[in-house]
Structure 1
């Protein structure tokens, strides 16, 4: 077998393994809303005949594993029998009192599946890993949820730069996850080179992507508290764009 053929075979095996991952999570994000100190996510083993170990840990927003993390995943390792689901507890420790009180703090939950040891020594085993957001939300910024929209995001604004690109201004205490952009209010003219972004609280970031020249009603799609998609439509005047519609995107 040539070197190139070997590489292709390994890549095929990797992507095939991704599609056949045994462990799945019951949520795409976790929010701990103070004064609550715990949230729960289900971990499922979809394998019909094999047991797996689920190894879990928390990282900060930069992807660093903390020695004294204010948020932990319990149990850090557990065995899942075939077609079994168990709870994974995301626990806020007393040291969350040291986190900012005027904004959310972002963490990441990592869950790695450890496959059973096979008898064939020549088989390559790949330990796949899931990673989802964990947001700690202080009590003083408790939001009011209306349906599946995030009404506080209506406070976002866009600033149009001379280059024609837009800057998103997040003057809210919430993390904003953007996944799509459109050059029209109806959401039918996609910005094809738009890159999904995570906008921290009280920050401003340039949107990656070229909108249509002269666009007046840019639209952004965000992920809400429940993992669903919301849509923000803006109206631009004198280089500043304000939200005119915050709705659920089907």
Structure 2
């Protein structure tokens, strides 16, 4: 990934991930990049009432790292753009030559940082106007939205959601801190669970990587009394899909 010059903001700076206060809306909650695609497009829309400067970059999980210190096998164009109010911008993400695994998906994160214009008091009418002024010391807020990008090799097995779900095994474990439900993902795909319930008791849901396992602690650390597992997982379109299974013995 080409190095990006950091956007400099005078005054206080706050980075708020996926904030409901953000004016830049990403079309979708995740990006799927098939290996054979030359590029994938992501549309941004400014739903606010003022123009915004927007910086976009990808990371491998380094949420706090500065963009210029991150190396990923992708290029985003444009990396920095101005989006006027009620207007949009298309990000073109292109893959570079890489040695990413061919037997499973790889995960990256798309960051979209919006920076509002500097505010300066208008002496004539007492109102604030949005102007670029490096000498102003008013509080500035920069909002960041961060969503997942899945690199999907062409060589991995093509499986329907029903086939994938059959390869998710659920077991109860006690890790010394309390009870948890362990999800073993025997597929080459990432699974993100938005809700997991065992025997009517909630667990702290999350993501499990391909060909890996993850433990989701029970909310009360107590051992569930039932063996039924009800869960919601997020599909390629960002929709929650309700499913159910049983604990493995």
TM-score, scaled relative to structure 1: 0.76
Question: 1 or 2, which has the higher strand percentage?
Answer: 2
Q: Distance in 2 between matches of 1:220 and 1:19?
A: 25
- Find the aligned partners of 2:96 and 2:240 in 1 and give their Cα distance: 31
Answer yes or no: is the 8 Å Cα contact 1:37–1:93 preserved in 2.
no
Aligned to 2:104: 103
Higher share in helix: 1
Q: Secondary structure at the match of 1:152?
A: helix
Instruction: Give the corresponding residue for 1:41.
Output: 42
SS of the equivalent of 1:218 reads: strand
Q: What is the CA deviation profile of residues 103-147 of structure 1, one whole-angstrom value per residue up to 9, with x for unaligned ones?
A: 0000000000011111134531101001000000000125345xx
Report how far residue 155 of structure 1 moved: 0.8
After TM superposition, list the pairs within 5 Å mapping 1:82-121 onto structure 2: 82-95=85-98, 98-120=99-121, 121=136
Residues 169 and 211 (structure 1), Cα distance of their counterparts in 2 relative to 1, 3 Å cut: farther
Task: Tell whether the 8 Å contact from 1:180 to 1:195 is kept in structure 2 after alignment.
Answer: yes
Counterpart for residue 204 of structure 1: 213
Matched, 1:61 2:55: no
Say if 1:182 and 1:211, in contact at 8 Å, map to a contact too: no
Tell me, yes or no, if the aligned pair for 1:150 and 1:230 is still in contact at 8 Å: no
Describe the shift of the 1:150–1:44 C-alpha distance in structure 2 as closer, same or farther (beyond 3 A).
farther
Alignment size in residue pairs: 213
- State the shift of 1:150 in Å: 5.9
The alpha-carbon deviation at position 153 of structure 1 amounts to 2.7
The 1:183–1:160 alpha-carbon spacing in structure 2 relative to 1, beyond 3 Å, is closer
Q: CA RMSD in A?
A: 2.5
Q: Residues of 2 paired with 1:94 and 1:54: CA distance?
A: 27
Change (3 A) 1:81 1:62: closer
Distance verdict in 2 for CA 1:72–1:208, change over 3 Å: farther
Report the TM-score when normalising by structure 2: 0.76
Displacement of 1:167: 1.3
Question: Unaligned regions of 5+ residues in structure 1, if any?
Answer: 1-9, 241-250
For 1:244, the equivalent position in structure 2 comes to none
**Cα-to-partner distance string for 1:132-183 (whole Å, 9 max, x where unaligned):** 00000000125345xxx56413210012235653211111111111111123
Query: Could you tell me how far apart the structure 2 residues matched to 1:38 and 1:56 are?
Result: 16
